[in-house]
């Protein structure tokens, strides 16, 4: 048996998930056939531009996609060995919180302004069968203490507007983890925080993960956070995962042009430059997606096959995959004259 083999249990497995919106413009393919796996104690980063499907993926995993406009068309979400897409909606209350939970992006809008922090935290804890009613407040204090909130016994009586942004984000984390979930989805939880508080919050999440063994899905635009927090990363573009692999491998050997462009967009403090790098063009409209690769109109490596057919997945080592025809060696077998004709057609 290979001593280096990862023996951790799979906490979450997503297979060919499709979430579509149906409106007057047509069918918006927000999540269009994504698959990934998350093990216990592992952190998966999901990165990509705004509108690529990151948050809709997260909402779909909790079956909180906005209905009836959005519908999960097909796929499997296997959580703790059970496909939660087969569970009746009334039973999802036993899944959200105890098994999977989410830390939303904006703590200001996530907390109810007319209830105290204690009210909102105790409401979550009250759904657990292993806590007596008489112990709820004590457990709420412990939940705040676990996320490093000072004087938790006093803070339980505070309203959200009496707390700073960083403190409110910790409260959101406490509520998300109150049910003891196996998987936490953190949807850009540091966006509203300043740099110093961001670092503290990221360190807190890693400490809590080490204590509980929970799996974390971290949604972000920031590759610096990916490097600090994640074990592996999935790069999303126009509703699909275009590259996936271990963080170190993705940084050292990006194999999809979009991944290259995202990494190239990160400013390098040690280098002097007159102009920051940018990715030209815009992502395609999700209700009018091209037949071929969705990055073709922005890609410097594009060829005719990219327009005609969506690329298959190529492997670049253990658990490192990318969907890009650039790595198809059959292109090298095409005569040079034919390549020139194809190139001229693309340029035209």
For residue 72, the cross-strand partners are 19
Cis peptide before 48 (omega within 30 of 0): no
Closest to 52 measured CA to CA, from 251, 245, 284 = 284
Residue ranges per domain, the chain?
8-99+181-348, 113-175
Confidence of residue 333 (pLDDT cuts 50, 70, 90): low
User: Which residue spans within the chain are E strands per DSSP?
Assistant: 10-23, 26-39, 43-47, 70-79, 82-83, 100-103, 183-187, 215-220, 232-237, 240-246, 313-315, 321-323
Reduced to 3 states (helix: H, G, I; strand: E, B; else coil), residue 209 is helix
pLDDT in tens, 156-209: 999 999 998 888 988 998 999 888 899 999 998 887 777 777 888 888 889 989
In this structure, are residues 157 and 118 in contact, taking their beta carbons and an 8 Å threshold?
A: yes
What is the rounded average pLDDT of the residues 239-244?
96
Distance CA 288, CA 28 (A): 8
What is the rounded average pLDDT of the residues 104-110?
82
Confidence of residue 2 (pLDDT cuts 50, 70, 90): very low
Distance CA 236, CA 269 (A): 26
pLDDT for residue 339 is more than 60: no
pLDDT at position 317, please? Answer: 83
Distance CA 81, CA 87 (A): 13
Q: What does the DSSP 8-state code read for residue 133?
A: G
CATH topology of domain 8-99+181-348: Rossmann fold (3.40.50)
Query: Phi/psi of residue 60, each to 5°?
Result: -65, -35
pLDDT at position 3, please? Answer: 45
**Beta pairing class for 43-47 and 232-237:** parallel
pLDDT for residue 128 is more than 90: no
Distance CA 242, CA 36 (A): 12
Q: Which residues fall within 8 angstroms of residue 44, CB to CB, at 6 or more apart?
A: 36, 38, 215, 216, 217, 218, 230, 231, 232, 233, 234
pLDDT in tens, 45-73: 999 998 899 999 999 999 999 989 999 99
| Cα dist from 149 to 116, 120, 163, whole Å | 15, 16, 11
Closest to 315 measured CA to CA, from 271, 253, 272 = 253
pLDDT for residue 1 is more than 50: no
Distance CA 204, CA 186 (A): 13
pLDDT at position 180, please? Answer: 86
Share of the chain above pLDDT 90, in %: 57
């Amino acid at each position: 048996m290979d001593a280096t083999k990862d023996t951790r249990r799979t906490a979450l497995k997503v297979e060919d998930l499709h979430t579509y919106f149906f409106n007057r413009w047509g069918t918006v393919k927000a999540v269009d056939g994504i698959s990934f796996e998350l093990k216990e104690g592992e952190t998966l980063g999901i990165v990509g531009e705004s509108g690529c499907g990151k948050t809709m993926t997260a909402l779909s995993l909790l079956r909180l996609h906005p209905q009836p406009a959005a519908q999960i068309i097909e796929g499997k979400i296997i959580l703790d060995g059970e496909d939660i897409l087969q569970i009746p909606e009334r039973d999802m209350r036993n899944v959200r919180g105890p098994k999977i939970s989410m830390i939303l992006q904006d703590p200001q809008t996530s907390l109810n302004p007319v209830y105290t922090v204690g009210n909102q935290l105790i409401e979550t804890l009250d759904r657990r069968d292993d806590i007596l009613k008489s112990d709820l407040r004590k457990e709420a204090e412990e939940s705040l203490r676990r996320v490093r909130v000072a004087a938790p016994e006093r803070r339980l009586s505070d309203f959200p507007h009496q707390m700073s942004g960083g403190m409110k984000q910790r409260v959101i984390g406490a509520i998300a983890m109150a049910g003891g979930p196996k998987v936490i989805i953190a949807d850009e939880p540091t966006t509203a925080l300043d740099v110093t508080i961001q670092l503290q919050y990221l360190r807190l999440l890693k400490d809590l993960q080490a204590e509980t063994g929970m799996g974390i899905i971290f949604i972000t635009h920031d590759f610096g956070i990916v490097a600090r927090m994640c074990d592996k990363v999935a790069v999303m573009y126009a509703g699909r995962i275009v590259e996936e692999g271990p963080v170190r491998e993705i940084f050292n050997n990006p194999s999809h042009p979009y991944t290259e462009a995202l990494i190239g967009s990160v400013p390098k403090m040690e280098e002097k430059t007159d102009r920051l790098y940018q990715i030209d063009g815009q992502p395609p409209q999700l209700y009018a997606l091209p037949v071929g690769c969705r990055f073709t109109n922005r890609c410097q490596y594009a060829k005719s096959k990219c327009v005609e057919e969506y690329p298959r997945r190529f492997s670049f080592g253990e658990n490192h995959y990318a969907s890009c025809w650039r790595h198809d060696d059959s292109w090298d077998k095409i005569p040079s004259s034919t390549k020139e004709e194809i190139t001229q057609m693309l340029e035209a």
